[in-house]
Amino acid sequence: MSGIIFFGTQKLAEIRKFYQQEIGCQLWLEQADCVVLRHGNLLLGFCQRDQVDTNGIITFFFESREEVDACYAKFKSVALGEPLLNDKYQIYQFFATDPEGRKIEFQYFEHAVSEHLAGDELLATRRSVRRFLPTPISDDTMQQLWELCRFAPTSMNTQSYYFKVIKDRPTLAWLAGLRGSSSAPIENGPLAVAICSDASLTKRPEQDGCIAAYHFLLAARQLGLGTCWIAAMDRDDVKERLGIPADHYVATITPLGYPAKRNPRMPERKEADWFLRD
């Protein structure tokens, strides 16, 4: 279930243009004299009315101070002050106003926040993370992660996959040294997770394991955690060290933790049409 916040406006066309072209909102729904815009998981509705609604604050939050600073540079003429660190709430913020005087806030949380990403944003912003903060992951967050991961699809719903959490530092260091720079990130997080499938439960252990692994990567991103797919870890020495049966499949061993740097730059991507084949 989701929701929409509606505001009355006397300048529907101007307000729509401001939030779409200046803020970067997308059109979500258009109905007669109302328009609903989307920014991430925020739905804003504006309806042509005799009265203008200006109560409250419309807050847009971002994943870095740099993004807030970029917004300030863009909206400096209507800003109510420079971006500042709010010690009480541990946010980096500034305020501005829209064309009808509504108060808008642009902010960055200086701490991790609970899951909030819309589906398209989740898919478009997952990145490989190789450096992590020393911040431990709470038991509650780990439980949320397992809860999301249990919905990974498998061949004939065998649910053959499982996760092995690795916290022992000597073991993490050993795993990190197996493939040089390719496996080195395993040691950088507070823990790592081996994502495996039981070949006795499925005829498709590789597919089940890899689907579960990518489901895990997306679920971790949804919770603000970073991961990095480390390939070629389906090895006898790895299984022996971790106590994984020889006939089980190890899809990947990924480090897991809070990224040392949030919102890494998007690498170059081909246009969607490139991937289509006749």
CATH of domain 5-109: 3.10.180.10
pLDDT bin (cut points 50, 70, 90) of residue 268 is confident
User: CB within 8 A of 262, min separation 6: which ones?
Assistant: 63, 64
Angle at 116 between CA 142 and CA 75, to 5 degrees: 140
Per-residue pLDDT of 212-255, as tens digits, reads 999 999 999 999 999 999 999 999 999 999 999 999 999 999 99
Q: For the chain, what is the mean pLDDT?
A: 94
Q: What is the pTM of this model?
A: 0.81
Spell 103-114 as b/e; 16+ CB within 10 A means b: ebbbbbbeebee
Amino acid at 181: S
* pLDDT (average), residues 257-268: 79
* Domain ranges in the chain with CATH number 3.40.109.10: 125-257
Domain 125-257 bears CATH identifier 3.40.50.300: no
* Domain ranges in the chain with CATH number 3.10.180.10: 5-109
- Label residue 138 left, alpha or beta by phi (over 0 means left) and psi (-120 to 50 means alpha): beta
Residues paired with residue 38 on neighbouring β-strands, in sequence order? 26, 43
- Is residue 9 within 8 A of residue 35, CB to CB? The reply is no
